[in-house]
Amino acid sequence: MIDKLEAIKERFEEVSQQIIQPEVVSDSTRYSKISKEYKDLGKIVEQYALYQKLQKDIAGTKELIATEKDEDLREMAKEELDDLVPKLEELEQNIKELLIPKDPNDSRNIILEIRGGTGGDEAAIFAGDLFRMYQRFFEKMGWRSSVMDYTEGTNGGYKEIICKVEGEDAYGKMKFESGVHRVQRVPQTESQGRIHTSAASVAVLPEAEEVDVQINMNDVRVDTFQSSGAGGQSVNTTYSAVRLTHIPSGLVVSCQDERSQLKNKDRALSVLRSRLYEIELKKHNDAISSQRKSMVGSGDRSDKIRTYNYPQSRITDHRIGYTVYNLPAVMEGDIAELIEKLRIAENAERMQEGEAV
């Protein structure tokens, strides 16, 4: 571990010099890439400096215990040592987690897709509740989200809603949300007070860039239609909405959020690119998971990942067997603790894999 930390420290010093070079500062793409590396390495280097200081303090304290004649001073030194050793162990664990190779997609923006599943009108209403929950979470994180396309449910909510989310490590935090979310509650339409079970599916796609996926526009059929969304009279009277059909894969993407047909086409292309990228990413992940079975990291849309039980105010994440009884707070966007528990579980798995190799 120390050899790895020394190498990281050396690389951090190199990057510290690169980031102030005029040719780097003037190239926004290169500067952004180096800035991110500088920030990521800086976290590790900072922890390593604390680790070295603690090691030095422990060595000095042990020497004092071994050589000091005054019994009171020796007792004080022993108490200090009892305090320092657990701190060193905790710091070492933190550093090990920081050294786990990051998913290269973690820093990407995302395309979030929510669809009502089994349960009819209630499933669409629940899909709307999930979307609102995520919107609140994005606000707490200081992220920016914009709706790209949606189909409203008959009695509220959404049969489907797609939005783009921009924020630091958006995919890294949101990737655990992919899967089937199940709700147990008395529907608004239920007259006899019976509890029903409905579901909505969530897909979190890392936003793909043009360099990631090359789309041949000869393979794409472009259709335009009148937008059905809000946005003033002009939205509904012009053919500004765009539907793209990728003929080789059969994928269909629509966007009607913008007034400009050109902007809607660009945004629809972004979603199409991300869906094609996800297909390739799934192939890659499936190849890895054939060698190992991850508890939290599969991100398969068909996996039932979480249950929201309204009568008991209970939320259970089935991947890690974690249950909390604060459903109202969670539905207001307080999902950071759930995400952190899943991140810790994934890191523990990856650390075990590293030790087994």
Q: Quickly list DSSP for 218-239.
A: GGEEEEEE---SSS-HHHHHS-
346 CB-near residues (< 8 Å, 6+ apart): 176, 294, 296, 297
pTM as predicted: 0.68
The confidence score (pLDDT) of residue 229 equals 54
Residue 78, CA distances (Å) to 64, 88, 130, 265 in order:
9, 15, 53, 69
58 burial via Cβ count (<10 Å: 0-12, 13-18, 19+): middle
Which has the minimum average pLDDT: 110-124, 138-152, 290-304, 320-334?
290-304
What strands, in cross-sheet order, belong to the sheet with 220-225?
A: 220-225, 241-246, 251-255
Split at pLDDT 50, 70, 90, the class of 224 is: confident
Q: Work out the pLDDT band at 311, boundaries 50, 70, 90.
A: very high
Residue 105 has what pLDDT?
A: 85
The per-residue pLDDT for 263 is: 87
Least confident of 244-248, 263-267, 351-355: 351-355
Q: Is residue 299 pLDDT above 50, yes or no?
A: no
Does residue 103 or residue 132 have the better pLDDT?
Answer: 132
Q: Per-residue confidence at 100, pLDDT binned at 50, 70, 90?
A: confident
Which of 108-117, 289-298, 306-315 has the least mean pLDDT?
Answer: 289-298
Residues 6+ apart with CB under 8 A from 227: 235, 236, 238, 240, 241, 256
Segment 124-132 shows an average pLDDT of: 96
For residue 298, pLDDT beyond 50: no
- Name which of 36-45, 122-131, 315-324 the model is least confident about: 36-45
Mean of pLDDT values over 176-181: 94
Contact predicate 216/276, CB 8 Å: no
How much is the mean pLDDT over the chain? Answer: 85
Of the listed ranges 11-15, 37-41, 98-102, the one predicted with least confidence: 98-102
pLDDT over 70 percentage in the chain = 88
Q: Which residue(s) pair with 198 in the sheet?
A: 183
Question: Position of tokens 């349960």?
Answer: 119
- Given a cut of 50, whether residue 292 has pLDDT beyond it is no
Q: Tell me how far apart the alpha carbons of residues 162 and 324 are, in angstroms, rounded to a whole number.
A: 28
Predicted confidence at residue 354, as pLDDT, reads 56
Mean pLDDT value across residues 48-77: 91
Q: Looking at residue 291, what is its pLDDT? A: 44
* pLDDT above 80 for 25: yes
- In this prediction, what percent of the chain has a pLDDT beyond 90? 46
